[in-house]
Structure 1
């Protein structure tokens, strides 16, 4: 999958998740996806390469970076809690949707109960 496909799949996935919103910042060119006012996904272009940046459990982040050549520590983010996905042969639709949903649930789980659009453990996921 190429970087544009990666970003399209990730963006379409966030649209299916309850309570999400999107912000665009022009300088630099960043697309922020939020739930309850908190960012759970960012999309931008690292020099010539479209990427998706997601929140991840620190243990999962380390394992993902070791397992997938196209996943690295978070670009411009806390390297323990965020990962960066690039388009490539090791990434498929299912993995993208799973990691976007995991990021969303991590952020929802940190929100006060009154701001949680779903139960973070049983709530929605991308199809």
Structure 2
């Protein structure tokens, strides 16, 4: 997936918005005011940071060389994936879905209910 494909997939989630608190080159995708994805590009290679359950995050790091502990994030819960062509697109989409679901799950009930409307 290229940068724009990642960005569009994230922004297609209900309630997803894009924010730039760290500068124009760091796209932060949020739901309910909480980040679920962070997109950057280094040397024309997209990188996406996603939230995951700690055990699953470690498993992904062991399975894929392109998946590292979250850059400048809580390394127990966040991974950064380098989109170098080695990661299966459907798996990356699944990781985005999981990150979104984990963040939504942590939102207040009223905010979650609003997303379903």
TM range (shorter): 0.7 to 0.9
Residue 25 of structure 1, CA deviation: 4.1
Residue 96 of structure 1, CA deviation: 1.5
Residue 89 of structure 1, CA deviation: 3.9
Compared CA separation, residues 28 and 17, structure 1 to 2 (3 A): closer
Q: TM-score, normalised by structure 2?
A: 0.87
The alignment partner of 1:52 has SS state of strand
Mapped pair 1:81 → 2:77: yes
Are 1:58 and 1:81, in contact at CA under 8 Å, matched by a contact in 2? Answer: yes
Are 2:11 and 2:29, in contact at CA under 8 Å, matched by a contact in 1? Answer: no
Match of 1:42 among 38, 59, 78: 38
The structure, 1 or 2, with the larger RCO (C-alpha pairs under 8 Å, 6+ apart) is: 1
Residue 26 of structure 1, CA deviation: 5.9
Mapped pair 1:30 → 2:26: yes
The alignment partner of 2:73 has SS state of coil
Mapped pair 1:11 → 2:7: yes
Match of 2:47 among 35, 44, 51: 51
Mapped pair 1:92 → 2:88: yes
Match of 1:115 among 106, 111, 117: 111
Q: TM-score, normalised by structure 1?
A: 0.81
Cα RMSD for the two superposed structures: 1.7
Match of 1:69 among 61, 65, 73: 65
Structure 1's unaligned 5+ residue stretches are 119-127
